[in-house]
Amino acid sequence: MFRNMSARWFGMVALALFVTGCAGQTRELIANRIVDVPANAIAGEHEIFIATTRAKAANPKEVFSGSRSATVSFAEVNMTVPAIHKTGEIERRSGGQSADPSKYFTAHKVTTFDSAGGFSKALREDIAKRGGRALVFVHGYNTSFDSAVYRLTQIAHDAGYSGTPVLFSWASGGRVVDYVYDNNSATAARDALEQTLRMVAQSGAKRIDIIAHSMGTWAAMEALRQLAITNDRDLNGRLGDVVLASPDIDVDVFKSQMRRYGKPDKPFFLFLSTNDRALDLSRIIAGNKPRVGGYENAADLATLGVTVIDLSNASAGDRLNHTKFADNPVLVRLLGEKLLEDGSLGTGEQVGDRLGTFAGGITQAIGSAAEIVITTPFEVLNVVVAGAR
């Protein structure tokens, strides 16, 4: 048995290392030179606001490193997306290449703030001109700073999100071998995430949606738990949708967090996949205890008041099946704009109708036939849909 477990362990680590090492990309967010391109070569421009527990990088082009900081730093990045961009992908330059905005996601300007007050002022101005909505994204394990910025830019762009995107970036080492370090970094960042959510609320946001991925869901759930302990679990009515994608959390720990938080008044959506290989690896590291993002008993989770969307039969953009949600960010638009425009759960029949539409949207995003199993606090929906492309 030990031999089989060891073989499986090393096989999965080798696969993870292979997938991670394929890209050959630089961690430099800022390039020495940006190529001049015509306006029609750019598909979109996005201001990304950043709160981070990362230390400043020794290489200023990387901006922030994988090391931890005892204080929270704040920044704003002006990003562009090329017109050749394909939904769900991140076109990025490799090391040594010039930044060509017609081909790659490009950072044009990075502004750092000396104080939380200066950051809050800039954030308030942006939120005000964007209708009072903000989206806080918390990235996952093995994510460098530049990758986190690219991912939120992609989500905001592909989702057609019109509010203010805010990246909360905790100090991930950005390497497969840093799993334990990353887990501790995410834990150390939970207070800062709670403070960031309060800052966004105090900066004029009328609705704050949260999207957390992988290990970032741990930090997000801890921050929400802490808000509940202070009797402010919905940020004084400002909390919108909470989306937990591929949660890398022990199932028993998640149940404990949700019991302390209480059944949500606003929707909690949980995306899982039972063939998530990255979470298989996490489960082995954690003593063979199941992770929420790979849990097979969706009905058990739904009793906590969350809506579970099983994407096990959906295709993925990575070989680990860990970024199905992130690689198909049109789901964010479907959630935010089509399903939950009123921001409430509604009746079981209303939820069923909306989730039926959502399942069709998933198929349009992945372009292949799939069976989407959606388990709500009201009922279980088995939706079989055919490819639309």
pLDDT (mean) for 172-192: 95
Domain that includes residue 113, residue range: 2-385
Q: Which of 69-73, 160-164, 168-172 has the lowest mean pLDDT?
A: 160-164
What pLDDT does residue 201 have?
97
Under DSSP, the state recorded for 90 is -
Residues 6+ apart with CB under 8 A from 10: none
Q: Which of 52-56, 147-151, 364-368, 377-381 has the lowest mean pLDDT?
A: 364-368
Is pLDDT above 50 for 388?
Answer: no
Q: Which residue has the higher pLDDT, 196 or 280?
A: 196
pLDDT (mean) for 77-95: 92
Handedness of CA 287, 293, 294, 297 (dihedral sign): positive
Q: Which of 159-168, 223-232, 248-257 has the lowest mean pLDDT?
A: 159-168
Kindly list the strands in the beta sheet with 207-213, ordered across the sheet, starting from the edge strand earlier in the chain.
106-113, 64-82, 42-56, 164-169, 133-138, 207-213, 239-245, 268-272, 307-310, 370-375, 380-385
E strands in 257-335: 268-272, 307-310
What pLDDT does residue 350 have?
53
Is pLDDT above 90 for 285?
Answer: no
Residue 187's pLDDT band, with cuts at 50, 70 and 90, is: very high
Averaged pLDDT of the chain = 82
Domains held by the chain: number: 1
Is pLDDT above 50 for 10?
Answer: no
Residues 6+ apart with CB under 8 A from 314: 273, 324, 328, 362, 366, 368, 370, 372
Q: What is the pLDDT of residues 351-379, one digit of tens each?
A: 555 555 555 555 454 444 456 678 888 65
What pLDDT does residue 20 have?
40
Q: Which residue has the higher pLDDT, 27 or 226?
A: 226
Residue 311's pLDDT band, with cuts at 50, 70 and 90, is: confident
Is pLDDT above 90 for 203?
Answer: yes
